Amino acid sequence: MSAPARSVGVAVAQFAPVADTAANVDAIARLTAEAVRRGARLVVFPEYASYFVDPFDPTLAEHAQALDGPFVRALTDLAAQHDVHLVAGLVERAGDERHVHNTAVAVGASGLLARYRKLHLYDAFGQRESDWVAPGAVEEPQTFEVDGLTVGLMTCYDLRFPEVARLLADAGADLVAVPAEWVRGPLKEHHWRTLLHARAIENTLFVAAADHPPPLGVGSSLIVDPQGVEVAAIGTGTDVAVAHLDADAVERVRRVNPALRLRRFTVVERPS
């Protein structure tokens, strides 16, 4: 008789962050409590979860925080209260008064577990994120563990660059968490869903992506398994979706489809 599957509860939480960090923390607290009630051990929140204003303006830098600032401390308190891991988008202080880092933070009961500063800024579809945000440096991916799952981080527009997810797979990730503010527009929801499925299939890992709801984001926060099957999804509202993931699925799928082992190419940084 085979051993029972190791199940890990993973949630995506969809809400619309505002230009009020305290209000955003309150929303995160409510959604965390609901996710944990439904068995989540990891909850993924959207990009810019600490502070968001549209269009961007100088208040973005004014409300930026350090990695040990009040937003991360509030997440740490929530993680300790509920015995859960949280991923969320932080507007992080950068090296000058105008720019910030768009940073995904992973937090547990002990504090910050990993952080990722967005590499590929959203200078597309008429937008100019780089006017306000400084890109992160290319560095070794940071990962963290949740009940035997190794989790990596990427952010929103990074989804269009398959190298980011591939580097996370090479770093041992079983699941990629994707905080996002995937801006609405023609075909944008189609791109969002297609790319999430593609990153899961080509890297044979789980993807958990949390977006802002309409009218700014497309919503459609998803969890996709290593074969590209949606196992949890949200529509257009503020909500939580939870999937209980088989922690052994990645290894099992990779035995059947060893594409990562059979590939002939690796990822190298492009000269600037």
* The pLDDT value given to residue 3: 46
Average pLDDT, integer, range 106-129 = 98
* Residues of the chain above pLDDT 70, percent: 99
Record the tokens describing residue 128, joined without a space.
């100019």
- 139 carries an active-site annotation: no
Q: What does the alpha-carbon distance between residue 266 and residue 170 come to, in Å, rounded to a whole number?
A: 9
Total tally of structural domains belonging to the chain: 1
Which one of 92, 156, 181, 189 is the catalytic residue? Answer: 156
- 47 carries an active-site annotation: yes
Tell me if 59 is assigned to some domain. yes
List the CATH number of the domain containing 232: 3.60.110.10
Tell me if 269 is assigned to some domain. no
CB 45 within 8 A of CB 88: yes
* The pLDDT value given to residue 178: 99
Q: What does the alpha-carbon distance between residue 46 and residue 17 come to, in Å, rounded to a whole number?
A: 8
How far is the first Cα of the chain from the last one, in angstroms, to the nearest whole number? 55
Q: What does the alpha-carbon distance between residue 31 and residue 35 come to, in Å, rounded to a whole number?
A: 6
Q: 46 pLDDT exceeds 60?
A: yes
**pTM exceeds 0.85, yes or no:** yes
Q: What does the alpha-carbon distance between residue 231 and residue 220 come to, in Å, rounded to a whole number?
A: 13
**Distance (Å) of CA 118 to CA 95, 97, 228:** 15, 19, 24
At position 249, the amino acid (one-letter code) is: A
Return the ∠ at Cα 155 (arms to 154 and 157), rounded to 5°.
120
Q: 1 pLDDT exceeds 60?
A: no
Q: Which residues are 87's β-sheet partners?
A: 44, 106
**Distance (Å) of CA 262 to CA 98, 164, 205, 266:** 45, 19, 16, 11
* Residue 154: closest CA among 111, 190, 102, 189: 102
Average pLDDT, integer, range 194-222 = 99
* The pLDDT value given to residue 5: 72
Tell me if 1 is assigned to some domain. no
Cα radius of gyration (the chain): 17
* The pLDDT value given to residue 95: 86
Average pLDDT, integer, range 10-32 = 99
* The pLDDT value given to residue 39: 98
Tell me if 2 is assigned to some domain. no
Average pLDDT, integer, range 220-226 = 99
Which one of 92, 118, 129, 181 is the catalytic residue? Answer: 118
Q: What does the alpha-carbon distance between residue 24 and residue 94 come to, in Å, rounded to a whole number?
A: 21
Tell me if 17 is assigned to some domain. yes
Q: What does the alpha-carbon distance between residue 158 and residue 199 come to, in Å, rounded to a whole number?
A: 11
User: What strands, in cross-sheet order, belong to the sheet with 206-210?
Assistant: 143-146, 149-153, 175-179, 206-210, 222-224, 230-233
Q: 82 pLDDT exceeds 80?
A: yes
Q: What does the alpha-carbon distance between residue 46 and residue 202 come to, in Å, rounded to a whole number?
A: 23
At position 194, the amino acid (one-letter code) is: T
Domain boundaries, position 183: 7-260
* Residue 39: closest CA among 7, 71, 69, 9: 9
Average pLDDT, integer, range 146-175 = 98
Tell me if 87 is assigned to some domain. yes
Q: What does the alpha-carbon distance between residue 221 and residue 156 come to, in Å, rounded to a whole number?
A: 12
Tell me if 271 is assigned to some domain. no
Tell me if 225 is assigned to some domain. yes
**What integer best gives the mean pLDDT of the chain?**
97
pLDDT digits (tens, 9 = 90+) for 120-154: 999 999 999 999 999 999 999 999 999 999 999 99
- 145 carries an active-site annotation: no
Record the tokens describing residue 243, joined without a space.
């999937």
Which one of 47, 92, 129, 189 is the catalytic residue? Answer: 47
At position 111, the amino acid (one-letter code) is: G
* Residues of the chain above pLDDT 90, percent: 96
* The pLDDT value given to residue 97: 87
